[in-house]
Structure 1
Amino acid sequence: MIEVKVLGVGCANCKATQKLIEKVASDNAISINLKKIEDTAEIMSYGIMSTPGVIVDGKIAHAGGIPDKVTVLSWFKSQCCPTDNDCC
């Protein structure tokens, strides 16, 4: 299961990013464990200065603005099949 954290204090972009991640995972039958982190100190501990931030399996995948669907799917594909991006 891919661990995903959305970092942000609850703004519209953070909420939209969370919903987009959920939809991409669902549409592609990818199993994720999604957590929303809203604590400012915890967000800062990741080195994220611009929200929304996204952490995928412990690594910063995104910071600032809403990512597009293709970008989100690429995070999951690189985690679930690092040598064959057509397996997810």
Structure 2
Amino acid sequence: MIIKVLGPGCKNCKNLEKNTLDALKSSSVEAKVVKVTDIAEIQKYGVMRTPALVIDEEVVVSGRVPKEDEIAQWING
């Protein structure tokens, strides 16, 4: 599984990355977390507001920072 955190590096982007890493720690899923800060690359996903979270090339949320348990639900399917 590849999880991408999309955003320029703002506070909310860092919070999303932290929540994602925390959700992974509490799950049994192995995943690689990648930070995407390049605006052109972010736009390829059709994201208009950051931060955004992409799991296996599917945008699951954008424009807000979901809580750890919500991210865990997406990770665990």
TM-score bucket of the superposed structures, by smaller chain: over 0.9
SS in 1 for 2:22: helix
Aligned pairs for 1:44-63 (under 5 A) are: 44-63=43-62
- Residues 1:69 and 2:68 are matched in the alignment: yes
Higher RCO (CA 8 Å, separation ≥ 6 residues): 2
Larger radius of gyration: 1
Matched-pair identity in %: 31
2:61 corresponds to which letter in structure 1? H
Q: Distance in 2 between matches of 1:15 and 1:75?
A: 19
Q: Distance in 2 between matches of 1:18 and 1:54?
A: 9
Q: Supply the distance in 1 between the matched residues of 2:48 and 2:34 (Cα, whole angstroms).
A: 19
| Distance of 1:23 and 1:36 partners within structure 2 | 15
Unaligned runs of 5+ in 1: 79-88
2-side partners of 1:29 and 1:13: how far apart? 25
Computed over aligned residues only, the root mean square deviation of the Cα atoms, in angstroms, reads 0.9
Amino acid at match of 1:12: K
Which consecutive unaligned segments of at least 5 residues does structure 2 have?
Answer: none
Provide the residue aligned with 2:24 in structure 1. 25
